[in-house]
Structure 1
Amino acid sequence: MSTMTSDTMTSNRMTSDMIKFLTMVGKLKRTKRSGWVMRGVNDPESVSDHMYRMSIMAMLCNNSSTMDKTRCIKLCLIHDMAECIVGDITPYDNVSKEEKHAREKKAMQELSSLLPDEAATEIMELFEEYESQSTEEARYVKDLDRFEMILQARHYEEGEGMCLQEFYDSVDGKIKNQEIISLATTLVESRRK
């Protein structure tokens, strides 16, 4: 009769936890962005779609020598991860910013508990950095988040013949990075043509 060693049991638990983590995060591929759903957009993007394009933007757009591009990409991948548990909470859900943060933090702690210590610590640090907007990278990623939303709004306007002005209005004056302001300005001007 074969007995499992402590190392084997630990390894099996870690493998099982990793699969659980990846399964939970995989729900983001099916979690539709609530703002688009509420506006009746046909086949709205998923949270995962949004995070993916933001990550590509961070890779291509960040030309600052002072920012850590890899950190920006990681922030893009983490910033909405809690939504695999709490869903995509919007201002229309009547949830305070404090309550939204508390729910998302609890979800991130649950997700992180499935990972090895080093990875769990990194994910929680990235989540808190983005939430607190405490670094240049976090503020840049917030600008990418806002720009990606209006870029997606433009896609839906063109494809479905709808006006989504409220999304543009919600970010007006909030984007601070000059590079992203330039992209947003060009995008908004393209709507006028």
Structure 2
Amino acid sequence: MQTTDLLQQIEFIKEIDKLKYIQRKTKLFNSDRNENDAEHSWHLAVMAIILSQHANAEVDVLKVVKMVLIHDIVEIDAGDTFIYDAIKNHTNTDEERLAAERIFGMLPRQQADELIAIWEEFEAGETNEAKFAKSMDRLEPLLQNTSNQGGTWKEFGVGYEKVYEKKKAIKNGSETIWAYAEKLIEDSVTNGILKKESEI
């Protein structure tokens, strides 16, 4: 039985290597190279460990780390959906559900069920852990875009209003981090790297 589990786990480990090939729209800090999903997930995991003291409520940091490490694995099949996409919904797509069942389903049943449940919890965004994990997910690209003089905001013509609307979810996980993030957004407008809709 253990041998069977190991073989399934190794196949899953090989499969998720594909996450390294999923390119995100956001670029690395002070860079013109696009970030991939694996880099993004790793960065969020470290951020969650470092910034957990700022969560609105006490969180199980290990659970948050699990969430951010696996939350984008579904993009191996479903692809990365740009958060500012005006046509395709960024969350809870049928493609992502099928991907979760296929990819996590490669694992032994108990592990598969655990990871699907963690993925679902992240997507629902209702627990303290999920709220904080989503705060990390929204914060990282904000930091990247401000380091890149507007980055994807400028590249795709995304205005202040859309950025503010998407980023305010940070507050659900951390009011402290949201205060910092909100100032970054306002400073971006002042510095001319983020424009009001009427200015685009």
In the superposition, the TM-score normalised over structure 1's length comes to 0.77
2:22 counterpart letter in structure 1: T
Structure 1 residues 76 and 27 mapped into 2: Cα distance closer, same or farther (>3 Å)?
same
Are the equivalent residues in 2 in contact too, given 1:144–1:180 (CA < 8 A)? no
Could you list the per-position Cα deviations for residues 7-27 of structure 1 after superposition, in whole angstroms to 9, with x for gaps in the alignment? 5xx72x433322321122111
Could you list the per-position Cα deviations for residues 37-77 of structure 1 after superposition, in whole angstroms to 9, with x for gaps in the alignment? 8xxx8320001111111111110111146211111111111
Instruction: Give the corresponding residue for 1:127.
Output: 119
1:23 aligns with 2:14: yes
Report which of the two structures shows the higher radius of gyration computed on alpha carbons: 1
CA–CA distance in 2 between the matches of 1:114 and 1:186? 43
Identical positions, percent:
25
Select 1:67's aligned residue among 50, 59, 72. 59
The alignment's C-alpha RMSD in Å is: 2.9
CA–CA distance in 1 between the matches of 2:118 and 2:8? 20
Unaligned runs of 5+ in 2: 192-200
Instruction: Give the corresponding residue for 1:187.
Output: 184
Instruction: Give the corresponding residue for 1:51.
Output: 41
Q: What's the secondary structure of 1:166's corresponding residue?
A: coil
Instruction: Give the corresponding residue for 1:175.
Output: 170
Are the equivalent residues in 2 in contact too, given 1:175–1:181 (CA < 8 A)? yes
Structure 1 residues 59 and 97 mapped into 2: Cα distance closer, same or farther (>3 Å)?
closer
How far the C-alpha of 1:183 sits from its partner, in A, is 3.2
Unaligned runs of 5+ in 1: 1-6
Structure 1 residues 96 and 114 mapped into 2: Cα distance closer, same or farther (>3 Å)?
same
Structure 1 residues 149 and 168 mapped into 2: Cα distance closer, same or farther (>3 Å)?
farther
User: What pairs up with 1:1-193 in 2 under 5 angstroms?
Assistant: 7=1, 11=3, 13-33=4-24, 35-36=25-26, 42-63=32-53, 64=55, 66-90=58-82, 92=85, 94-96=87-89, 101-157=93-149, 163=154, 166=158, 169-172=161-164, 173-176=168-171, 177-188=174-185, 191=188, 192=190
Are the equivalent residues in 1 in contact too, given 2:48–2:65 (CA < 8 A)? yes
Structure 1 residues 128 and 167 mapped into 2: Cα distance closer, same or farther (>3 Å)?
farther
Are the equivalent residues in 1 in contact too, given 2:26–2:144 (CA < 8 A)? no
Counting matched residue pairs gives: 178
In the superposition, the TM-score normalised over structure 2's length comes to 0.74
Bigger helix share: 1
How far the C-alpha of 1:129 sits from its partner, in A, is 0.3
Structure 1 residues 25 and 169 mapped into 2: Cα distance closer, same or farther (>3 Å)?
farther
Higher relative contact order (CA 8 A, sep 6+): 2
